[in-house]
Each structure stands twice: as structure tokens, then as C-alpha cells.
Chain A
Amino acid sequence: MYEVLRHYNYWLYVLLLALGLYGMMSKANLMKKLIAMGIFQWAIIYYFISIGAKKGGNIPIFPEHGIENLTIRAQDYVNPLPHVLMLTAIVVGVATTGIALALLIKIWQNWNTLEEDEILQRMRNE
């Protein structure tokens, strides 16, 4: 049991994931959905980054000189790959948010509301 509870980084991301999902599914306001989606995406980013962390790990940057004298052991350095991947994922998240905001602007222009049920109502009336 302790083994499972110990990995608090996973618990954090599960919590955020659940929050995000809940928000996306149950909130009627589109803006709130968008915010929840953001939470969902950031949760994943935390997850990835957290798995690269190591106890006592150093920043994975080598000095310009004197590298020949160093013994490089992987466990001394934080894993840089997840960070790199998450840079991409952050960009993707930003782009998604951008598109979503643009869509929300257009929805506001067309229907004058951001509540999902009201929009559906107005669409049906058309």
C-alpha cells in the first residue's frame, strides 16, 4: 500500500486529470470547458516531467571544457528527454488553446452566448 501511496507525483496528476475531465464533461459554459481542458493537458505535462526527476539529480548540461575528465553516470542527471517532449506538448497545448479561443470568439459573435445549452436551443430555433 505504501508503495502506491509513495508516488505522490502520480496522485497529483491523477487528481488534475480527474478535475479536468470532470470540468469538460459537466460544465455547460464553453469557457469553463476550455479551462478544464487546459488543466487536463497540464496534468499530463506534469506527469511526464515528474518521471524524469531523480533524487539528487543534476541539471543535464555538460560544461564546455573538461568533459573528458568527467565520469558521466546517467543517475546523476535528471532525464532531459521528457522535458524536451513536454516542450513540444506545451506548444501543442498552446496552439489548441489558441484555436479554441478563436472558436469561442466566433461562437460569441454568432450566438451571443457561451452556454452550451443556450447555443443548442438557438441552433434548434434556426
Chain B
Amino acid sequence: MNEQLPALVVVIPLLFSFLIYLMGFIGRRMPYFLLLISSALTSLSSWKLLIRVIKEGPISYHIGGWEPPWGIEYRVDHLNGVLAFVVSLVAFLVILSFRERVEKEVEVSRWSQLYALFSLQLCGLLGITVTGDVFNLYVLLEIASFSAYAMVAIGKKGGEFSAFRYLIFGTIGACCYLLGVGHLYILTGSLNMVDIVNLLKNLPDSSALRVGLCLLVIGIGVKMALFPLHTWLPDAYSQAPSTVSAFLAPLATKVAGYVLLRILFWMFKPTFPSEKVLLEILGWLALIGAFFFSFMAIVQRELRRAFCYLLLSEISLLGMGVSSGNLDGLRGAILHLINDVFMMGCLFTSICAFIHLFENEGLKDLEGLGLKNPWVSLGFLIGGLSVIGIPPFGGFFSKWYLILGTIEGKKWHLLVGLLVSSLINAVLIFKILERIYLKGTHLELSKRLPFCFSVSLLSFSISLLLLGGLASTIVKKVIDPWIFSLGGF
């Protein structure tokens, strides 16, 4: 069982998704529990995988027994090990919370379909994370995207139009990625990541290679919602059912962010000639994006749209960390990746809970929540404070490294962007906190939050606190080994 872990992580959700769909014909409640079991098993497997990677170093798994570079390889090193674990854990926490919500938002006939889609999406995301083959990544990227398009469309009326636009834009992105893969294949003759790294070392610089790199980055940029390739995200995530955005928001874009890190730092090193220019451009785009998104977040009236823009600005922070291109900037980017999964999971699950309680999405309706339901308020409080970067929560520690990276790299424009966008985000967060804690309420709260929801929210809050305390451990055990394995730092 131990040797099969890299594949298990992907296969379990895949098999379960079919099972869930079939079980939908037999029972109404069964599919949900199957989904829960699926994500629990996946989390366990990814945890064991992570432990194995920390102890033994990168693991290589050959699908079907075919050796790379002819066969497809699943290669788990520290970076994707920790990401796989984080993604499956947060997926589990979100799934834990949302049963009642799904049952309210989606018609009965579609429950099992939606649960199956969740499992399929999880499979796609984890596959992207553990795979070591660039074309396999494309396939899994598309699996994740399809499930996302379908998930966004299930639900209320505006969803399917946003889903269609998402589909068009997402397909352009994936096709750009595929084109990039094509360029790489033409130049190196291989699709295996490790192999490509070795082959690239001997290649002379050529415009084909540069274009390939750019296409890869653009393709991933669409999936990651980097400025200005982000336009699909606010509509898609705010028109989708609240549970779907709670699942997609923390996970999908972050996995794409991981792919960007893999491409820019692991396959093509920063010493690659045109990469410096690329990083510089990325930095400026991220900077503009951070300002733009933070401002947009403040002026929104709907809570979920505001948080979508907050999500976008957090992704821009990731872009800034990447652009610094040095050791600490990279540490900050990876730590930020990990933290952001939890932070966004916390915030979007809180929104889910809030909508569940009040059937309303406006910012105004938050008033007085603090007194009525402590868990939801706690979710907003801790998630919000972490986003701004207030210690002792996780967000502070990644912000520290990001700032450190910009100072060491002498990228003062990024430094200003980091500090100012956090402050602008603080405006949004405290606007919300003010509404929650400092306004009296006329709202009558007739509903109670389901127990699992509260458990999930509490777990998120505690994990954000733990991420703060464990930041040093994470850096030492997981991030640094990966960065030093890159060489050249």
C-alpha cells in the first residue's frame, strides 16, 4: 500500500466519483457520506505520502510499471507533497461542512451528480499536484476544469452563463499550456519533467524555447487568475452555488500557482536568459493586480464577490513573491500558497455558513452576527486577520518572507505593493468585522448552524493559528529542502 501512495492519492477520488454517481440511484443521503469517506481517505493517504517524502526524499512512481521517460511518472517531492496534503485536508474540511447547504441550493436529482463532481475535481487537482509528466498535467488540468465548469453551472440561474464564459476562457488557457508543452516537446523530445530539466541544460537559447515558456506561463496564468487573465473568476465564483465556491476558491487557483512555481523555478531556472525579464513582467502585473483587486474588493456590495477580489489580490501577492526570484521570496511564495489555501477555505466556508443562516448575501446583512453565532464570526475574524497579516496567524509569516524577498531583491515597487495592498485589504476586512462585532442586530436568528459546520469553521480557525506557530517548522522541514534541491541558491 505504501508504494502505491502517489497513485492512491489520485485514484481514490476518481473511483469514488463513479461510485458516488452510481449510489445516487440507490439512496439520497448515501452519496454525501461516500464523498466524505473519499476525501478522508485521500487526506490520510496524502499525509502518509508527505511523511514519507520528508523522511526519504522525493518519491518516484511509475504508472503501469513503465519507466520514465517512456512511461508516465508521478513524482512527489517536498513541494507537491505538502501541497497535496494541504489541498486534500482543506477539501475534507469544506466537504465536512457543506451537506445541508448543498441540499438547499441544488435540486434533489442533482445531489449525487454534484458530489461526484466534487470528487472528480479533487482527483484532478491532486493529479496536477503529484504528476511528473507535463502532458499528463494537461489532462488532469482539464479534468479539474471540466468538473469546475459543471459545478459552477449547477445551481441558480446566473450560473450557467458564467460557467460558459469560464469554459471559453479556461479552454484558451489550457490550450496555451498545451502549446507550450508542444514547444517543449519539439525542442527536447521528452514529456517527463525530470528529463526535460536535464535536456534543457544543454539546449542553446532560442526564441522557440522562450515562446514555449511564455505560452506555459500564460496558460497557467489563466488558471491561476493572474492579472490580467483573471476576468473569469469573479463571475464564476460568485454565481456558483456557495458550496462550490467554497470548494473551488481555496484549491483550484493554488494548484495552478504550484504549477507556475514548478515551471519557473524547477524546470526553467531563474538563470535562464529570458526568465529574468519574464519574472520582472510578472512582478509588475502582480503589482497592478494587487492594487486593482484590493480596491475592487472594497467597493463590492455582495460579500462573495468582495472575497473573490480578495482571493485575486492574494494570488497577486503570490505573483510578487515569485517575481522576487530569490530564496526568501520563494519561501514566502510557497508559505503563502499553503497559508492561502487555509485562509480562503476559512473565509469562503464562513460565507457559506452565513448564507445558510440568513439566506442573504449582502454586506449589510452581516450586522450583529458576532453575538448570534460565534463560529461564523470567528471564521471571518481569524481568516480576515490572517489575510491582512496580523500575527500570530499564518498570514503574517508568509508576509514576512515576501517582504524579506523584496528587500533582498531590491524590488522596492513590490515592497510598496505588498504593504499597501495589505492595508487596503485591511479596510475591507475591518469593514466586515465592524459589521459583525460592532453593530447591534435586529436580525432574528431562527436557524442553528449544523454541528459539522461549526466543527469545520473551528478547525479552520485553529489551523490558521497552528500555521502561525508551525511556520518555522514548515519552512525548515518542507520548503527549504525543496528550494535547496533546486540548486543555485
A47 touches B179 (CB 8 A): yes
Asked if B167 is an interface residue, CB under 8 A from chain A, the answer is yes
Q: Which residues of A contact B146 (CB under 8 A)?
A: 95-96, 99
**Given the complex of chains A and B, what is the CA–CA distance between A111 and B142 in angstroms?**
28
Q: Residue-by-residue, is B246-259 near A (CB-CB < 8 Å gives 1, otherwise 0)?
A: 00000000000000
Q: How far is the CA of A47 from the CA of B175 in the complex (A)?
A: 12
Per-residue CB contact flags for chain A residues 82-126 toward chain B (1 = under 8 Å, else 0) read: 100100110010011001100110110011000000010001001
Knowing A21-B172, A37-B171, A88-B139, say if A44 contacts B161 (CB, 8 Å): no
Q: Which of A81, A103, A110 has the most CB of B within 10 A?
A: A103
A48 at the interface (CB under 8 A from B): yes
Provide the residues of chain B in CB contact with A119, threshold 8 Å: 161
List of B residues within 8 angstroms of A41 by Cβ: 171, 175
Cβ distance B173 to chain A, nearest Cβ, rounded Å: 11
Are B182's CB and A103's CB within 8 A? no
Which of B150, B157, B158, B160 is packed against the most chain A CB atoms within 10 Å? B160
B164: chain A residues within 8 A (beta carbon): 30, 100, 103-104, 107
> Would B179 and A51 count as touching, CB distance under 8 A?
no
Cβ contacts B145-178/A at 8 Å (1 or 0 each): 0100110010001101101100110011001001
Choose from B157, B175, B185, B191 the contact partner of A44 (Cβ within 8 Å).
B175
Chain A residues with CB below 8 A from B153, complex form: 103, 106
CA distance A61 to B160 in the complex (A): 45
What chain B residues lie within 8 Å of A48 (beta carbons)?
A: 182
Docked complex Cα distance between A103 and B154 (Å): 10
Across the interface, which residues of B come within 8 angstroms of A106, CB to CB? 153, 160
Cβ-based interface call for B371 (8 A): no
B135 beta carbon closer than 8 Å to chain A:
yes
CB distance from B258 to the nearest CB of A (A): 21
CA–CA, A92 to B175, complex, Å? 11
B466 lies within 8 A of chain A by Cβ: no
Complex formed: what's the CA distance from A56 to B182 in Å? 23
Per DSSP, chain B at the interface is helix
Chain B proximity of A14: nearest CB distance (Å): 11
B70 to chain A, nearest CB (A): 10
Distance to closest chain B CB from A98 (angstroms): 9
Contact of A126 among B157, B178, B182 (CB under 8 A): B157
Kindly state whether residue B455 has any CB partner on chain A within 8 Å: no
> Provided the pairs A103-B167, A106-B160, A107-B161 are in contact, do residues A85 and B135 lie with their beta carbons within 8 angstroms?
yes
Asked if B186 is at the interface of the complex by the 8 Å CB criterion, the answer is yes
A67–B161 Cα distance when bound, in Å, is: 56
User: How long is the Cα–Cα vector from A104 to B161 in the complex, in angstroms?
Assistant: 8
Q: How near does chain A come to B401, taking the closest CB pair, in angstroms?
A: 37
B178 and A44 form a contact (CB under 8 A): yes
CB pair B150–A99 under 8 Å, yes or no, is yes
A34 to B138, CA, bound (A): 20
From residue A32, how far is it (CB to closest CB) to chain B in Å? 11
Q: Taking each of B135, B138, B139, B178, which has the highest tally of chain A beta carbons within 10 Å of its own beta carbon?
A: B178
A-B contact list, 20 entries, CB within 8 Å: A24-B168, A24-B172, A37-B171, A40-B172, A41-B175, A44-B175, A51-B182, A81-B185, A81-B191, A88-B135, A95-B146, A96-B146, A99-B150, A99-B167, A103-B163, A103-B164, A106-B160, A107-B161, A107-B164, A123-B158
The interface of chain A, by Cβ under 8 A from chain B, is: 21, 24, 30, 33-34, 37, 40-41, 44, 47-48, 51, 81-82, 85, 88-89, 92, 95-96, 99-100, 103-104, 106-107, 110-111, 119, 123, 126
